[in-house]
Amino acid sequence: MYRYDSTDQQIIDQRVAQYRDQMARHLAGELSTDELRPLRLQNGLYIQRHGPMLRIAIPYGMLSAAQLRKLAEISRRYDRGVGHFTTRQNMQLNWPQFEETPEILAELASVEMHAVQTSGNCVRNITTDQFAGVAPDELTDPRPYCELLRQWSTFHPEFAFLPRKFKIAVNAAAQDRAVIRAHDIGLDLVSDDRGEIGFRVFAGGGLGRTPILGKQVRDFLPRRHLLSYLDAILRVYNRYGRRDNMYKARIKILVQALGIEEFARQVEEEWSHLRDGPTTVPDEEFARIAQHFAPPPWETLPSPDPAHLTRIEADRAFASWVKRCVHAHRTPGYAAVTLSLKASGTAPGDITDGQMIAVAELAERFSFGELRVTHEQNVVLADVRQRDLYEVWQIARSHRLATANIGLLTDMICCPGGDLCALANARSIPIATAVQDRFDDLDYLYDIGDISLNISGCMNSCGHHHVANIGILGVDKNDEEWYQITIGGQQGKEAAIGKVIGPSFYAQEVPEVIEALIAVYLEQRTPSERFIDTLQRIGIDPFKARAYAGRDRRRPARIDSREKEVVNA
Amino acid sequence: MPRIIRNGSIVEDDWQVLTLAEGETPAGVTLPAGRVLLPLSVWLARRDEIIAGNRQIGVWLDSHEGPEALAGDIDRFAVIAVNFPKFTDGRSYSSARLLRERYHFAGEIRAIGDVLQDQLFYMRRCGIDAYALRADKDIDRALAGLSVFSETYQAAVDQPYPLFRRRPAPGSA
């Protein structure tokens, strides 16, 4: 993974000093609350329902074991011994002390980490495929491009005060695991007919109040032009994105208002002034960064590993785990492993300090000391020998990290919701818990098979409910928590936004409604169909009818969240 | 006399910012004596008269006003100010870069409006070289804001080469 040189380290150290000074001036009354807010947000510090929340950057989800150990130590010393992984592959601490945040940032800097631009109206953490570098369906490793973008976006002087937040994701695989079209800019790595690497560029995607999939701005951008082209997009957005209404300030609204052709024309016009300038990236720089992501010293191993096959035969629980949590690797004899953070009874994406240490040890022993955070809020060991899988499973299981539910109904993406977040209209975690309780039988889950269920506590859509097969959105109606359900969303190359099935439900109805939706699928499916396939074939109506059957629906709960869809608290 | 930061130090400065009061029009407003930063609308309405006045010309752009309107006359201005109505309105960073990098404006670019210490570094990088700090702030302390980072990743006005074209080779000091 990328390691800082002295310049990178100096920049991050100076950032800590800057923030320390800002906090000191604030506490001395020289920097008002309003003046501090955007500054602290660009260092990841929110003020939430119960106090501060600190969002720590994990660039494109890559962590070393040493960094995870430091996160464990920080969570124990400065928080309550729990971290929460987010859909931007970051980690949130929910209980830090406001005055201690400069110390936390200094601790992070000691392991080449920070909280730079994890919030605020600026370019946020770049995200990518959790299987980058090992996925068999990958064109090339996307991480060097992500790192290039990290550096470009870090303290970009022109784009620190955009109309609104700005999210970029990069995909290089046949299956888009980074949901790039749900981003302000989505970058799809492709090669042209001469084998030159470049990007298909999408812009104007985003979830939130107005979910829209990104549209293509350019079908092929040679990689050397990446930064100047993004400068052009960002400049058009910075100058012409709306600033009069925060709900209409994302780039998707500008793209929609101009139309993609006119938007692309303006970008190309701007780019005509910038292209081929000093920001053009030379091959040597790509090579320099790529060295940091050179494959680890994989051994030459038999594939499949015979002992591994024997254990699958012998141990049904292990076999189930392998089926759901072990993924193909480009190198014979190796596999990638997802450690599930979706055990029943725990908040999705939460990891305790003890689990962090356990994962760090697993990474050190079995996966070259590195790991990745997934946008689905799990953790991946990317380079495990097949013959070690059984031992990894046993250790992971002893730390409740081996729930065999990856890609199943209980592998939910879920925001912290109203229990913690000041923006939420409703709680999310109790809904997740109720779903876990209702669907705690693994055999039943296996029978249902591949499905995604995501939960957001408000319109900001941090839980990505729009792109789930079943999406749950918390809404507020006269101070009561209601839940609106969408179906038909999906991630991947066929990304789609789900459709609302009708009036909202009470919290206690949600598990029953999900059960009803699942029942329609189980009755109607053909042997090879996933939930989404059946839904696409038979349409939304049978699902809708079953969901509301026998329910005495009061008038529809109107979505009443406008005033609560606040930007950053 | 008011004090501003210019080229890294604090200096006295007598440029006044003209804003149109309620009911005043660009064509009708009285142009004060002395050195005046004119609203773009006044410059556009009375360009010939102002040029004929044979004095140093300054103009200010609001955050929604692009520098394109000044392109043909760029060498006539001693000062172009860019306004930050709120410090969170980032449009004038783009305006400043365009003035320098596209229109090759060599005179002073001054930040006016909600100008605060913690944005000076970004402003400097975008080609702003004078800063009329918000009046209630300590201008002497704010100077430190110009030099928060000693190295930067991106190309900008202050450093036209991105770090990847300047990065020391591994192992060198």
Radius of gyration of chain A (CA): 23
The CATH number linked to A244 is: 3.30.413.10
What is the structure's pLDDT at A477? 87
Judgement on whether residues A312 and A281 belong to the same structural domain of the protein: no
Structural domain includes residue A121: no
Q: Give the distance, in angstroms, between the CA of residue B11 and the centroid of all CA atoms in the same chain.
A: 16
What is the structure's pLDDT at A565? 42
Mutate to test the interface with B, among A34, A239, A567 (most CBs of B within 10 A): A239
Contact A451, A532 (CB under 8 A): yes
The CATH number linked to A344 is: 3.90.480.20
Q: Looking at CA atoms only, how far is residue B85 from chain A in angstroms? A: 12
Q: Looking at CA atoms only, how far is residue A202 from chain B in angstroms? A: 23
DSSP class of residue A162 equals -
* Domain end position, chosen among A91, A109, A127: A109
What is the structure's pLDDT at A563? 39
What is the structure's pLDDT at B172? 56
For chain B, the structural domain boundaries read 3-165
What is the structure's pLDDT at A567? 45
Are the beta carbons of A238 and B91 separated by less than 8 Å? yes
DSSP class of residue B61 equals E
Task: Check: pTM over 0.90? Answer yes or no.
Answer: yes
Q: Looking at CA atoms only, how far is residue B119 from chain A in angstroms? A: 9
Contact A263, A233 (CB under 8 A): no
Report how far residue B102's alpha carbon sits from residue B97's, in angstroms, rounded to the nearest whole number. 8
Judgement on whether residues A417 and A392 belong to the same structural domain of the protein: no
Is 0.95 exceeded by the ipTM?
Answer: yes
What is the structure's pLDDT at B51? 95
Report how far residue A151's alpha carbon sits from residue A59's, in angstroms, rounded to the nearest whole number. 10
Residues of chain A with pLDDT under 50: 555-569
3-state secondary structure of B81: strand
What is the structure's pLDDT at A139? 97
Biggest alpha carbon–alpha carbon distance for chain A:
68
**B37, amino acid identity:** L
Provide the domain count of chain A.
4
Judgement on whether residues A35 and A104 belong to the same structural domain of the protein: yes
What is the structure's pLDDT at A343? 95
Judgement on whether residues A145 and A281 belong to the same structural domain of the protein: yes
Chain A residues within 8 angstroms (CB to CB) of chain B: 5-7, 10-11, 14-15, 18, 21-22, 30-31, 35, 38-39, 121, 151-152, 154-162, 227, 235, 238-239, 243, 273, 277-279, 281-282, 285, 288
Contacts of A238 in chain B (CB under 8 A): 90-91, 93-94
pLDDT tens digits, B7-17: 999 999 999 99
Residue A282 phi/psi, 5-degree rounding, is: -75, 155
Structural domain includes residue A383: yes
Question: Which CATH number, 3.30.420, 3.30.70, 3.20.20, 1.10.287, labels domain B3-165?
Answer: 3.20.20
User: Which long-range contacts does B151-155 make (Cβ < 8 Å, 24+ apart)?
Assistant: B151/A7, B151/A10, B151/A11, B152/A11, B152/A155, B152/A157, B152/B125, B153/A11, B153/A151, B153/A152, B153/A154, B153/A155, B153/A156, B154/A152, B154/A155, B154/A156, B154/A157, B154/A279, B154/B125, B155/A277, B155/A278, B155/A279
Structural domain includes residue A86: yes
pLDDT (average), residues B62-70: 97
DSSP characters over A514-557: HHHHHHHHHHH--TT--HHHHHHHH-SHHHHHHHHTT----S--
* Domain end position, chosen among A398, A421, A452: A398
DSSP characters over A471-497: EEEEEEETTEEEEEEEE--B-STT-B-
Chain B residues within 8 angstroms (CB to CB) of chain A: 66, 87-91, 93-94, 97, 102, 116, 118-119, 121-123, 125-126, 138, 141, 144, 148-156, 160-165, 167-168, 170
- Angle value at C-alpha B172, between B169 and B173, nearest 5 degrees: 130
Are the beta carbons of B93 and A157 separated by less than 8 Å? yes
Nearest to B119 by CA among A120, A15, A161: A161
The CA-based dihedral angle spanning residues A416, A422, A427, A428, taken in that order and rounded to the nearest 10 degrees? -30
Nearest to A513 by CA among A495, A486, A481: A486
Structural domain includes residue A123: no
Are the beta carbons of B153 and A154 separated by less than 8 Å? yes
Residue A205 phi/psi, 5-degree rounding, is: -90, 165
Q: Which residues of A102-132 are buried (b: 16+ CB within 10 A; e: fewer)?
A: bbbbebbbebbbbbbbbbbbbbbbbbbbbbb
Are the beta carbons of A157 and B121 separated by less than 8 Å? yes
| DSSP collapsed to 3 states, A73-122 | HHHHHHCCCEEEECCCCCEEECCCCHHHHHHHHHHHHCCCCCCCCCCCCC
Report how far residue A510's alpha carbon sits from residue A412's, in angstroms, rounded to the nearest whole number. 14
DSSP class of residue A415 equals -
- CB contacts < 8 A, A to B, total 103
Whether a cis peptide bond, with omega within 30° of 0, leads into B39 is: no
Which of A11, A156, A281 lies at the smallest CB-CB distance from B164? A281
Contacts of B118 in chain A (CB under 8 A): 22, 31, 35, 39
Are the beta carbons of A39 and B152 separated by less than 8 Å? no
What is the structure's pLDDT at A553? 67
Burial of residue A569, with CB atoms counted within 10 A of its CB: 0-12 exposed, 13-18 middle, 19 or more buried: middle
**Complete edge-to-edge strand list for the sheet that includes strand B36-39:** B9-12, B3-6, B130-131, B108-113, B77-84, B57-61, B36-39, B16-17
Q: Which two tokens stand for residue A562?
A: 């406008």
What is the structure's pLDDT at A209? 87
Contact A152, A227 (CB under 8 A): yes
A332's CB contacts (< 8 A; 6+ apart) are A300, A301, A302, A303
Are the beta carbons of B93 and A10 separated by less than 8 Å? no
Contact A344, A436 (CB under 8 A): yes
Domain that holds residue A201: 135-289
User: Which long-range contacts does A182-186 make (Cβ < 8 Å, 24+ apart)?
Assistant: A182/A206, A182/A207, A182/A211, A182/A213, A182/A214, A182/A464, A182/A466, A182/A467, A182/A491, A182/A495, A183/A127, A183/A214, A184/A214, A184/A250, A184/A251, A184/A252, A185/A214, A185/A230, A185/A233, A185/A251, A186/A214
Report how far residue A8's alpha carbon sits from residue B164's, in angstroms, rounded to the nearest whole number. 11
Judgement on whether residues A36 and A158 belong to the same structural domain of the protein: no
What is the structure's pLDDT at B171? 60
Where do we find the tokens 């109040």? A209
Structural domain includes residue A299: no
Output the average pLDDT for chain B. Answer: 96
